[in-house]
Amino acid sequence: MCELCVVPRFLLRSERAHDFSSASRQLPSSIAPLSALPAPIHIEGSLSGEKIRKALDLTSWEAASNSIAKWNASGQIGVTRQDVPSIAEAVGKHIADGEARNLKPESCKKIRDVVERRFLAFCVANGYRELRQIDVDAVREFRNKLVEEYSANSARKRLEYVRAFFDSVISRAGFR
């Protein structure tokens, strides 16, 4: 850090690169016209234990603030938070994906039965509307309902369809 900057090292803080057009600094006449251009905004700090010090390639404070706010919301530098679809939307996309992959009609029928009819009905009955509301306990509860209705092997096979659904959601959304 240079002597002109005193920036506390908490979270992410934006600052404009030094403007040498002030009276305290004299620039050669060949560089003087460049001082009229807006200086790029830099950020410095840490987020989730990851330290950063870099230029954003932005000259607008508003755009830089928006980028920083998105990074803070996602908890990772350079990653913006993605909107999580509702369970019904994710189920619809999963079924459409299965049909687009030309799965056999019988497989599509089983996916519809387990994921759309049973899992989606379970979610609606328990008040789950968004994917972020589903946790391990909810999936265990759904599994227990399957075991009550089917034999162990049939329930295991149906639970594989639910696992495939969550695998497709994770791969499509880019979660870690």
- Computed from CA positions of residues 65, 70, 71, 73, in that sequence, does the dihedral angle turn out positive or negative? positive
Q: What is the mean pLDDT of residues 100-111?
A: 92
Q: Structural domain boundaries of the chain?
A: 12-74, 87-173
Looking at per-residue pLDDT, the higher value among 2 and 29 belongs to: 29
Spatial CB neighbours of 19, under 8 Å, sequence gap ≥ 6? 35, 39
Query: Which distant-in-sequence residues (6+ apart) come within 8 Å of 125 by Cβ?
Result: none
Q: What pLDDT does residue 7 have?
A: 37
Inter-residue long-range contacts of 2-9, CB under 8 Å, 24+ positions, other chains counted: 7/44, 7/45, 9/44, 9/45, 9/46
Average pLDDT over residues 118-127: 93
pLDDT-derived band of residue 118, with 50, 70 and 90 as boundaries?
Answer: very high
pLDDT band at 175; cut points 50, 70, 90:
low
Compute the average pLDDT of residues 151-166. 91
Between these two residues, 33 and 95, which has the higher pLDDT value? Answer: 95
CA distance 42 to 7: 11
Q: Domain spanning 87-173 has what CATH number? A: 1.10.150
